[in-house]
Amino acid sequence: MVAPEIKISIKDFSIYYGENAALKNLNLDIYKNEIFTIIGPANSGKSSLLQSLNRLNDLTPSYKKEGSIFIDNEDIDNADVESLRRRVSIVFALPFPLPLSIFDNIAYGPRMHGIKSKSKLAKIVEKGLREAYLWDEVKDRLDTPAMNLSGGQQQRLCIARILAVEPEIIMFDEPTSGLDPISTARVEETLRELKERYTIILVTNNVAQAARVGDRTAFLLMGELIELNDTKRLFTMAQDKRTDDYLTGKFG
Amino acid sequence: MNVYLKQKIAFSVLFLCTLLVIVPVLVILAIIFVKGMSAIDISFLTEVPIKGMKEGGIFPAILGTLYLVLGAVLFAVPLGVLSAIYLVEYSRENFLSRLVKLAIVNLAGVPSVVYGLFGLGIFVLYFEFGASILSGSLTLGIMILPVIITASREALESVPKSFRIVSLSLGASKWQTIRHSVLPHALPGILTGTILGLGRAAGETAPILFTVAAFYLPKLPTSIFDQTMALPYHLYVISTQVPGIPENVRYGTALVLLLLVLLLNLAAIILRYQFRKRKRW
């Protein structure tokens, strides 16, 4: 077996909000083109980690960190923050469409990066929507408000919006927590497709979802990495008792 | 006592209080309208005053007030909106920013005559603009600045945080985020502040007293360095300083001032409605 290519490398990474440690001395590597899932109960530092990866945490005044994160061997602290956020996209738990039309939502990112040509934007929008499996449902009403879409459609719109900026890494922060089972299945299907071209990090507190789509799974508890393994191995033979308890639903 | 009865009483009291707010407005409007309507005709609105203001029209005062309001808004809105953006979007919550916010709130409480004296000292004398439309506009502009900043700040703060985060997470810069994802949605609120400021600027007498307003100047201003008549001051003059002005002329002038403010407000409200129509979240 060829050694997988490391995309993200997290070294001795800790996160503090004021006095509280949200993440303690984390070390892990994420490979290119895998679906890396992170599971764990609330307050285990999952979302904080995602927000650090594209430096959205910089916006939180009480945020402090120790350690480093490398993406393609470059320390993200040295990266230009706008282009970092372009490369490392995030899909939030709640779909947050901007109060614009469907088209303008997806064209927002490319426009901010200086693309003005209408035909070019139209192509990007169509491509994004197709990749997010939303095109057929909305192609006749691209100029209607995105807020009018259903919850599941809005979430796929957010995915399409991210694909339009051509990221390398896509982070999903509990993307289906507010969705019905059918919408959830569609989002999961999208995840598997996207994996071919993107590196995907999926944070979920739905254990079954991690088992369904994850290549490798990390279990975080109270800001500590308890266990990390291939998803199948983690689910069938967890080494740590706490992992086993969590997976079998003894707490969570 | 019965709960429902109590509720009925409470509602009645609230309703009466609300009614009481409307009554003075209606009474004032009615009196001014009835007493002033007879003075208003085309020549009253379009001609310059003659014979020591006893005859002729009030056109220079109307035009002067329009110029002053326009000047004040042109000066105060960009300045106010930009500083509100700085306060809300850029400055961190610290001692200095709290001090600035406190200062702005306090500026709103400064009596208008103090602004007048301030304008006299700074613009008329120190910058040597003289008593001119420029000095008057700047003075009025500073007076309405706090209103505009406060309204703009509230408008900016009411834009959901998710808009900013989404925009930033798509790789937009901070300024792009403000320009495209925050400001458009704050515009209706900013316009509300502008409307409030506008009405105040049009109606105040004290700030223009020392900085621009002419007692009797039966010609139109030709540059921003000219003095001009203005409606509120003109009203004061013909009501208290010059004897023998017919009553309907005084009330007619008040009516014109009132209608002018209402008209300006109406324009701003229509504009705001247009922006609101586009707002969907």
DSSP assignments along B195-262, one per residue = HHHHHHHHH--HHHHTTTB-SS--S---STTS-B--HHHHHHIIIIISTT--HHHHHHHHHHHHHHHH
* Residue range A175-186: mean pLDDT, rounded: 87
Nearest-CA residue of chain A relative to B92? A61
Mutation target to probe the A interface, by most A beta carbons within 10 A, among B91, B169, B183 is B169
Task: Give the mean pLDDT of chain A.
Answer: 91
The domain limits of chain B are 59-277
CATH of A6-94+169-247, one of 3.40.50.300, 3.20.20.70, 3.40.640.10, 3.40.47.10: 3.40.50.300
Mutation target to probe the A interface, by most A beta carbons within 10 A, among B163, B166, B181 is B166
Determine the distance from the C-alpha atom of residue B59 to the mean position of all C-alpha atoms in its chain, rounded to a whole number: 21
CA dihedral in degrees (A137, A142, A145, A147; nearest 10)? 30
State residue A196 phi and psi, 5-degree precision.
-60, -35
Instruction: Give residue B39's pLDDT band: very low, low, confident or very high (50, 70, 90).
Output: confident
The CA distance from A150 to B31, in Å, is: 55
Q: What is the pLDDT of residue A61?
A: 86
Do A82 and B167 count as a contact with CB atoms less than 8 A apart?
no
| Cβ-nearest to A165 among B170, B176, B180 | B170
Residues of A in contact with B186 (CB under 8 A): none
Q: What is the pLDDT of residue B281?
A: 47
Mind listing the pLDDT tens digit for each residue in B91-138?
A: 888 888 889 888 888 888 899 999 999 999 999 999 999 889 999 999
- CATH architecture entry for B59-277: Orthogonal Bundle (1.10)
Percent of all residues in chain B with a pLDDT value above 90, rounded to a whole number = 56
Distance from CA of B185 to the nearest CA of A (A): 9
* Residue range A165-180: mean pLDDT, rounded: 90
SS3 B114: helix
Do A108 and B180 count as a contact with CB atoms less than 8 A apart?
yes
Q: What is the pLDDT of residue B241?
A: 87
* Residue range B153-182: mean pLDDT, rounded: 94
Q: HSE-up of A131 (CA within 13 Å, CB side)?
A: 24
pLDDT over 70 at B278, yes or no: no
pLDDT over 70 at A109, yes or no: yes
The CA distance from A235 to A230, in Å, is: 9
* Residue range A82-105: mean pLDDT, rounded: 92
The CA distance from B151 to B154, in Å, is: 5
| Cβ-nearest to B171 among A59, A61, A83 | A83
Instruction: Give residue B279's pLDDT band: very low, low, confident or very high (50, 70, 90).
Output: low
Q: Do the Cβ atoms of B248 and B38 come closer than 8 Å?
A: yes
Q: Could you write out the DSSP letters of every residue in A51-73?
A: HHHTTGGGGSTTEEEEEEEEETT
Tokens of A124: 């990007």
Residues of A in contact with B172 (CB under 8 A): 82, 108-109, 112
Do A98 and B279 count as a contact with CB atoms less than 8 A apart?
no
Do A99 and B167 count as a contact with CB atoms less than 8 A apart?
no
Percent of all residues in chain B with a pLDDT value above 70, rounded to a whole number = 99
Nearest-CA residue of chain B relative to A60? B92
What are the CA-CA distances from residue B55 to residues A83, A201, B51, B59, B248 (Å)?
70, 82, 6, 12, 12
Which residues lie closer than 8 Å to A211 by C-beta, 6 or more apart? A217, A231, A235
Nearest-CA residue of chain B relative to A93? B162
* Residue range A147-158: mean pLDDT, rounded: 91
Do A165 and B180 count as a contact with CB atoms less than 8 A apart?
no
The CA distance from B76 to B146, in Å, is: 9
Instruction: Give residue A1's pLDDT band: very low, low, confident or very high (50, 70, 90).
Output: low
